[in-house]
Structure 1
Amino acid sequence: MNDQPLLAAVGVSGFDERVYRLLLRQPGRRAAELAAVLEVGAPRVRAALARLDGNGLVRRVRSGVYEAVRPEGALASLVSMRRMEAEARLAEVIKGAGELALLYDSGRMGASGAPGVVEVLSDPQAVRRELMEQNAMASSEVLYLDTPPYVARPEGYGDSNAVEEANTREFLARGVDLRVIYCPASFHRPGRLETLLRLAQEGERSRMLPHVPFKLRVTDRRAAMLPLMDGVYDHIAVLRPSRLLDALIELFELYWERAQPLAGRQAPPDDGPSEEEQVVLRLLKSGLKDEAIGRQLGVSTRTATRKIAAVMERLGATTRFQAGLEAAARGWL
């Protein structure tokens, strides 16, 4: 069996992992017995067992005696906890984004004249130039977090479905990998959902979260644009290669892992919904609750809930909103 350290990534020290592995092999041992095998003092082993207990990897069964929790579930929970902790720390960076404006006057780093890490653009024309430069330099990947409010963009950057389709197709034609995370509020513009579903079929990789906390665009992992205030196209922070940019990219990747695909696999033409499934989907789209849907179908609330769950399962959806998106993608609505 491979005894190479494995758990450092989730904050378990090398010594604690040795104690954990020994307890896996020899369950029910007292701390003193584990210490004898490891040739260390018992207090050190007891402290390690307390830390492992805190991480959910072992549990105390009686005084001085611990047993390991089954590793698959325990480690999955620990990984999930560490991921949430990392996301919370990175989110703190975003909360302090307003302070980035204080770096505006620096502009340059040190006496070397190297470009600054953060530049704040307060002129709409300067924002337009930066957008054009980032569009032109994009060669491999562009990452977006998309959320309202949406306001008039700098001259030359209209906000319409046609402009969005044209810009996206230009990126895709150049081989740029587009990854975008949307939220329900993203569908502010009539017809935008249908536009995004078409673009997803053409190659844009799009996912959904119930909430996206701020706007973000990252180009080739070399530059990012981040509004410091909502509703205006000035005070845009432009970030260059730095630990701050790395943190924003890592935060995007965490959101990407949690997000659900905007559009699923296209169903075969003959695999359409039944008449009852279409009725259920239309009632869901209208915003009715289970009780009201049951009345419309002439069944109990519990039966209506089961029918909704069956439609969601067939669509491979985990939420009702996702079911609506998937149904629209398949042409069921």
Structure 2
Amino acid sequence: MGEAGIGVALLALVAVFALAAPHFATRANLTHIATEITLNTMLAVGMTFVILVGGIDLSVGAVMALSAVVSGEVLTSGGLSPSVAVLLAVLVAAAVGMVCGLVNGFVSEHWKVPSFIVTLGMLNMARGAALQYTDAKTLYDFPPGFGRFGTATLLGVPALFWIALSMVAVGHVVLTRTVFGRLVFAIGGNEEAVRLSGHRTGVVKVAVFVIAGFAVGIAAVTYMARLSIASPIIGGGYELSAIAAVVIGGASLSGGKGSMVGTLLGACLLGVLTNGLLLMGVSDFQRQIITGAVIVVAVVVDHYRGRLARRLTPLG
């Protein structure tokens, strides 16, 4: 059923928690859920591009920490007006993320090293660089307006979540309405065929890691705006949550299949699941077990859905 099936599962989960979990269906809690899934949605947008070409990026959490502390240094350096400092901080965070993504993509493609290994190395380098840059200290005391934006709402929805939705919308247009998007899907499906047709697959594969890095930079600024801090230890495990959202959203880890709408639904499902279990008093350890089981079920369902599609293709 694809995205429709994920949407039905999400609605069913909401209905169950609305009946079983106290205070789940309140406006305050729904706003809290939207706020909580913002970061994962942003990271998952970039991760979708990477997974569609058959890659993986394990460095997003550490790169987010590095982007945050470098950007935070700009915000706390002084000598700039608050508006200029905020704009420059956003640009710096995005640039740091894109540079790390460029390194990931170039090393993986140029030397044909699996992206799993390259990004695992980047995870350690970025985390170490963030700790070294700040001497393991947390940065704070940002411009007041920066923090106010992190808690602002628009039409009753957190302003930061609107930014995440905008990233999903742009990603959807890129994947479905551009030549680049078609190449991303084609490379994930059959890279050799795309290469033999005259396209430079390596450029596209490097570009998706740069896009993922850009999404990480924006997520770093979002984190800072929400909590008004920049810490070198943030982002631990965020890469796994982003991958989970993409996989639950229907993407195949072998590449060539997935969508931004599915990724958004996957992030929402994870957020609703975590919040509902918390309100029901389920312990953190048990929540991890349940979330892991949901991911495994999603992969298994995708496997059988793929087998069914291959069997029905000749009949079409």
Structure 1 and Structure 2 fold alike (TM over 0.5):
no
TM-score bucket of the superposed structures, by smaller chain: under 0.3
Give the greater-gyration-radius structure (CA). Answer: 1
TM-score between the two structures when normalised by the length of structure 2:
0.26
Higher relative helix content: 2
Higher relative strand content: 1
TM-score between the two structures when normalised by the length of structure 1:
0.25
